[in-house]
Amino acid sequence: MTRHLITSAIPYINGIKHLGNLVGSQLPADLYARYLRQRGNEVLFLCATDEHGTPAELAAAKAGKPVEEYCAEMYAVQAKIAEGFGLSFDHFGRSSSVQNEKLTQHFAGALADEGLIEEVEQSQIYSETDGRFLPDRYVEGTCPNCGFEDARGDQCDNCTKQLDPEDLINPRSTISGATDLEMRATKHLFLKQSQMKDRLNDWISSKTDWPVLTTSIAKKWLNDGDGLQDRGITRDLKWGVPVKRGDAEWPGMEGKVFYVWFDAPIEYIACAQEWVDAGKGDDWERWWRTDKGADDVQYTQFMGKDNVPFHTLSFPSTIMGSNEPWKLVDYIKSFNYLNYDGGQFSTSRGRGVFMDQALEILPADYWRWWLLSHAPETSDSEFTWENFQAATNKDLADVLGNFVSRITKFCRAKFGEEVPAAGEYGEAENALIADLTERVARYAEQMDKMEVRKSAAELRAIWAAGNEYLQAQAPWTTFKTDPDKAAAQVRLALNLIPLYASLAAPFIPDAAAKMLAGMKIEDAGWPDDVPAAVAQLSAGHVFEVPEVLFAKITDDQREEWAEKFAGKRD
């Protein structure tokens, strides 16, 4: 089996993320990792918190805590939430780790040795009020490209254009709000990305299987306007990876740190080192170095579209430019945005559902199912409480949950809590098995392609097939005249439960585990052979009627939550 390395975009440390962040990277990555493990593949699934840069400093200052303490606390919070959503990371690391610091300094030295680092004297915004230089995210203003009034000094969140602070119209300090800003001279290191343009273009052009969203964004950044620009990789901050050239000091760069978008992607590699150092695995190099066996690794990244430029251009420039045998990504699965009820999620306005809040009101599987089945793959999608209620009630309660409850309770009433022995399968049963064999193959095909919504639709259809069979064959009616035939119908239907659990496990792992527990099966395995899978519960196999898998969301609950998470009004 192929070895699969999977990473999802690493979330900023500054606060708890909303559902759009979850479905744009971590959740689909977990879906894929769980599926690949079920199919017998060796998987290393890594994620971490992105802890450096101005977002961390600003959030810590707002919380009135030292930045190191703030980051440690928020790491624990994010790790707990990830566990609550069932995100099956092999390791959840931190970009502030010693491993990432050393590796970032190593890459800077390697790039300098290759002539790809240049020391540049430039003018940078200085705030008299704050008494300091203001790095990019300490400056906000109006985007010169689209007119968005709250663009950051490194990127506009509205149009995704990469910016420098001096590009902004009417800039202001995010520390004090001061507008008495002036340009002063300072020195910084730049990565000569422009020298990598041809190599990057050839590499991206070779990825003919990438999603259109990924390649279109990469090509736009590579070729639009002035093309790929050299990029500053240092900042005037205290919190971050100190600027060094490998293990050596870098004259003139004292007191500076590496730019967060230089060190953050390197954490993917460092995270594997952390995984080994934590005693969870061994030999991280076989996953990341092509001279140590990583040639046979399939590396897949998951991210929102705003992260695509950094993972198709900046990070590959670092990897390629080092001229060392590092593993490059093979496939980038990118996502559009999830919006909230006609607008955007907003932390400041308390608008929308955030990950901790979601887990407080409903179990994780409700959210996992809705988010993945509505994943914003080809366009932006929108969360509304009406759709969430309707979709989860129908799919989870009416289709899957009802099937499990209906057949187990009927069997208990007529045959006891064991699989009935009488009866042979007839035409309807064989037709259902044949239909499910085709559907399971299509489901696996979509999962292999990482087509999230199509996979969810096929899984839903597989569940529905069982309900349609029960409705058409009506064993509760058959039992009155032909108990043996009803027994055969019940036996097949009971065998669908572990099949459904196995197929559903990547999407709704908690419910799948409850289904298996009720049928007294530890692990159903992946159903490579559907006829064999639906015969694994032999006559006499004892089971228990599982508890209700999914309670329906009521209208009162929907209205209460819609009001609670509506946020502040203008």
Nearest-angstrom CA–CA distance, 515 and 521: 9
Where residue 522 falls among pLDDT bands split at 50, 70, 90?
confident
pLDDT at position 225: 59
Nearest-angstrom CA–CA distance, 556 and 418: 39
Is 348 within the bounds of a domain? no
Q: Closest Cα to residue 314, out of 69, 107, 545?
A: 107
* pLDDT tens sequence across 382-408: 999 999 999 999 999 999 999 999 999
Nearest-angstrom CA–CA distance, 8 and 88: 12
pLDDT at position 568: 66
Number of separate domains in the chain: 1
Q: Is the pLDDT of residue 569 over 60?
A: no
Q: Is the pLDDT of residue 37 over 50?
A: yes
Once rounded to an integer, what is the mean pLDDT over residues 214-235?
A: 86
Q: Closest Cα to residue 109, out of 264, 427, 428, 322?
A: 322
Is 224 within the bounds of a domain? no
Is 196 within the bounds of a domain? no
* pLDDT tens sequence across 295-323: 999 999 999 999 999 999 999 999 999 99
Is 491 within the bounds of a domain? yes
User: Model pTM?
Assistant: 0.92
The alpha carbon of 444 is separated from its chain's Cα centroid by a whole number of angstroms, namely: 20
What is the CB neighbour count within 10 angstroms for residue 57? 22
Annotated binding residues for ATP: 347
* pLDDT tens sequence across 160-183: 888 888 899 999 998 889 999 998
pLDDT at position 166: 85
* pLDDT tens sequence across 450-509: 999 999 999 999 999 999 999 999 999 999 999 999 999 999 999 999 999 999 999 999
Q: How far apart are the first and last CA of the chain?
A: 55
Is 37 within the bounds of a domain? no
Which of 172-176, 193-197, 443-447 has the largest mean confidence? Answer: 443-447
List, as one string, the DSSP characters of 415-439.
T-SB--------HHHHHHHHHHHHH
Instruction: Judge contact between 240 and 331, C-beta under 8 A.
Output: no
pLDDT at position 61: 87
Q: Closest Cα to residue 492, out of 411, 397, 396, 398?
A: 411
Radius of gyration over every alpha carbon of the chain, rounded to an integer in angstroms? 27
The alpha carbon of 297 is separated from its chain's Cα centroid by a whole number of angstroms, namely: 20
Q: Is the pLDDT of residue 223 over 90?
A: no
Nearest-angstrom CA–CA distance, 514 and 520: 10
Where residue 75 falls among pLDDT bands split at 50, 70, 90?
very high
Annotated binding residues for Zn(2+): 143, 146, 156, 159
Nearest-angstrom CA–CA distance, 36 and 42: 8
Mean per-residue pLDDT of the chain: 94
Where residue 135 falls among pLDDT bands split at 50, 70, 90?
confident
Nearest-angstrom CA–CA distance, 335 and 25: 8
Is 15 within the bounds of a domain? no
Is 403 within the bounds of a domain? yes
Q: Which domain holds residue 397?
A: 354-570
Which ranges constitute the DSSP H helices of 142-246? 197-205, 212-223
The alpha carbon of 155 is separated from its chain's Cα centroid by a whole number of angstroms, namely: 22
42-49 vs 3-8, strand pairing mode: parallel
Is 72 within the bounds of a domain? no
- Which residues sit opposite 190 in a β-bridge? 118, 232
The alpha carbon of 185 is separated from its chain's Cα centroid by a whole number of angstroms, namely: 40
pLDDT at position 226: 63
% of the chain beyond a pLDDT of 70: 99
570 or 38, greater pLDDT? 38
Stretch (H or E) spanning 517: helix 509-518
Nearest-angstrom CA–CA distance, 197 and 494: 58
CATH number at residue 555: 1.10.730.10
List, as one string, the DSSP characters of 536-560.
-S-TT-B--PPPPS-PPPPHHHHHH
For residue 132, give every residue at least 6 positions away whose Cβ sits within 8 Å of its Cβ, in sequence order, or none: 126, 236
